[in-house]
Chain A
Amino acid sequence: MSEPIAFSAATEAKIAELLGRYPRKQGALIPTLYLAQDEFGWLKPEVLQLVADRLELTLSAVLATAMFYTMLHKKPVGRFHVQICTNISCYLLGSDALMEIAQQALGIAPGESTPDGVFTLESVQCLCACDRAPTLQINKEDHFKVTPSELKALLETLKTEGVKLGPPVGWLAEQHHAHAAHA
């Protein structure tokens, strides 16, 4: 059904280094899953199997861990992963308004991705920068004391960038599979 996959040489080297850090191979599992999702976009079944083979673990052990953690992606994530903190301090200082703006600007609800694969929108638990609320995170970058107009402008900039960059790795293949499955 799908082509065989393998880690790049760079990722292989990192996994080898990781394995040296723990007395048991499973210790390297979570960091390896991060590396795998960086490389393949998300943790599709073939990727989980690849990780299991590489670390000599059962698929069920890998699956149990992958399923437990929200930051290990079991479905594709857009190029820009917008996560708005909706916990107490951010809620007190306007996170509902930010979420509303993001939903309107992107045309999706929390938990959804835009069909072009550019954005995924989610709420996130307290980012622990409450003294600078309201906060949000886009991919690996924090944004603090975000105002509605700043968020609007930011999303417009990212939209333009997203058109240039196109969908993230793994996105189109997944859309293709989803369509094939429905057909």
Chain B
Amino acid sequence: MSTKPTAYTPHPMEKRVLLRDHLGVDFTRLENYIAHGGFKMWTKAQEMGRDAVLAEVKASGLRGRGGAGFPTGMKWSFLPKDERPRYLVVNADEGEPGTFKDRYFLELDPFRQLEGILIAAYTINAHVSYIYIRGEYWNSKAVTEDAIAQLYKAGWLGKNIQGSGFDLDVYMQTGAGAYICGEETALIESIEGKPGMPRLKPPFPANIGVFGMPTIVNNTETLSAVPVILEMGGEAWAALGTPKNGGTKLVGVAGHVKTPGLFEVPMGASMRDVIYTLGGGITDDREILAIIPGGSSCPFLKGDEIDVAMDFDGLKPVGSMLGTACITVMAEGLTDLLGVMQRVTAFYQHESCGQCTPCRQGTGWLKAIADKMDAGLGEDEHIDLLISACTQIEGNTICAHGEAAAWPIRSIATKFRPQLEAAIRQRATAHGYVAKPAA
């Protein structure tokens, strides 16, 4: 970003080992990155050797920050032991509505991710890496391209990196406005120049990925954590979080809160504290109507369901998931939940790649029903129709876009039925129809 970074003090509730925008240093310059200890972990990885690095990542318990939480070390060890070329693909297609975390690394600390890429590529023995950045992220793309150019110039990319004998080429790949390309196999298709249509799994990318070769796909935040893990040691990283959820997590708070922003907390932090302490509490000190814990693919929560631990297992008791850990807060009295639902259905309908009938047609139905309610023509039974459509999408599709479309709507239709019914009547009246009385 063009603005000069300024120093500030993060809240004591935070634990910052990744974020460092508060230091007031321009980390888009290689010399500044190196002056603050950058690339020391690459050197350390060389001394440790591949197996030791992999063991350290496994010991850290690092789980994928793209949303699914798959253990990173285990993923890396799934690569077949053959002679085919391997690829490391970086998922920087950040597009999950409500999310704004990878943008931080891409714009403000690009070398952290690039050092992670170097270490990961070395560990899995890949010599080409594509960083797939969301098309609309023009600034991120420019910063990343510039960072890559700085690295080539200084001998940190290309042939025989810093005399190590290891070769790596890194290319910035641009997305082009399709959310579904965040799904790893759609992303692979997109790198190949094809429409972003997810592939049926198996085969998994670790065996047949980009250009038919073994491929590891990792999220930007996942890879950015790798140098930190080597620096502090896998066990120390693991100890920062909760069992099975090692380390820290970037968390966001947006919507109806007083101090929206991006923060970093130990895994397992209280969601209530994140919203009320880091997010500064609710606008006008109102009550929470609903929240989305980590992007609009997650089931919505009610205001009394926020006493949960923010890690990959902590949201199961309330029927949701951590997702990207960027929270959207909707306040009582300020939120038109039917309007929100209409946006959510429109999004998933628009972004369905159209391969599977349940997703293509089902997301169309969800949107059609929401539109009808929004236009004042809704009836209470339509809520049941929404739930029925969700049931017919879930589990019947090639990729998880189907669930991503169905789960939030099911949660609204079941948890917020009274609010939806009231909204249906309010819309009918507003559009001059005679609303059916409540049953």
Q: Is A131 an interface residue (CB 8 A)?
A: yes
How many residues of A are counted as interface, with CB atoms below 8 angstroms from the partner's CB atoms?
Answer: 42
Docked-complex contact A88 and B103, CB < 8 angstroms: no
Given contacts A27-B192, A89-B255, A131-B260, contact A71 B135 (CB under 8 A): yes
Q: Tell me which residues across on chain B come within 8 A of A72, comparing CB atoms.
A: 176-177
**CB interface residues, A 26-83, toward B, < 8 Å:** 26-31, 33-34, 61, 64-65, 67-72
Docked-complex contact A26 and B194, CB < 8 angstroms: yes
Interface string of B330-367 (1 = CB under 8 A from A): 10001100011001100100110100000000000000
Q: Is A149 an interface residue (CB 8 A)?
A: no
Docked-complex contact B343 and A91, CB < 8 angstroms: yes
> Bound complex: CA of A68 vs CA of B171, how far in Å?
23
Q: Is B379 an interface residue (CB 8 A)?
A: no
Interface string of B254-294 (1 = CB under 8 A from A): 11100011100000000000000000000000000000100
Docked-complex contact A31 and B173, CB < 8 angstroms: yes
Q: Is B253 an interface residue (CB 8 A)?
A: yes
Docked-complex contact B95 and A71, CB < 8 angstroms: no
How many residues of B are counted as interface, with CB atoms below 8 angstroms from the partner's CB atoms?
Answer: 55
> Bound complex: CA of A126 vs CA of B101, how far in Å?
13
Q: Tell me which residues across on chain A come within 8 A of B260, comparing CB atoms.
A: 130-133
Docked-complex contact A69 and B139, CB < 8 angstroms: no
Q: Is B136 an interface residue (CB 8 A)?
A: yes
Given contacts A126-B98, A131-B100, A141-B138, contact A31 B194 (CB under 8 A): no
Docked-complex contact A28 and B193, CB < 8 angstroms: yes
Closest approach, in angstroms, between the C-beta of A82 and any C-beta of chain B?
A: 13
Q: Is B433 an interface residue (CB 8 A)?
A: no
Docked-complex contact A91 and B97, CB < 8 angstroms: no
> Bound complex: CA of A33 vs CA of B171, how far in Å?
17
**CB interface residues, A 75-113, toward B, < 8 Å:** 86-89, 91-93
Docked-complex contact A88 and B196, CB < 8 angstroms: no
Docked-complex contact B252 and A130, CB < 8 angstroms: yes
> Bound complex: CA of A129 vs CA of B134, how far in Å?
13
Q: Tell me which residues across on chain B come within 8 A of A86, comparing CB atoms.
A: 343
Docked-complex contact B176 and A88, CB < 8 angstroms: no
Docked-complex contact A26 and B100, CB < 8 angstroms: no
Q: Which of B's residues lie within 8 Å of A, judged by CB?
A: 94-100, 102-103, 134-139, 169, 171, 173-179, 190-196, 211, 252-256, 260-262, 292, 296, 326, 328, 330, 334-335, 339-340, 343-344, 347, 350-351, 353
Q: A31-B174, A70-B177 are in contact. List 12 more A-B contacts (CB 8 A).
A: A22-B193, A26-B193, A28-B193, A30-B176, A69-B135, A70-B176, A71-B177, A88-B344, A126-B347, A128-B103, A131-B261, A141-B138
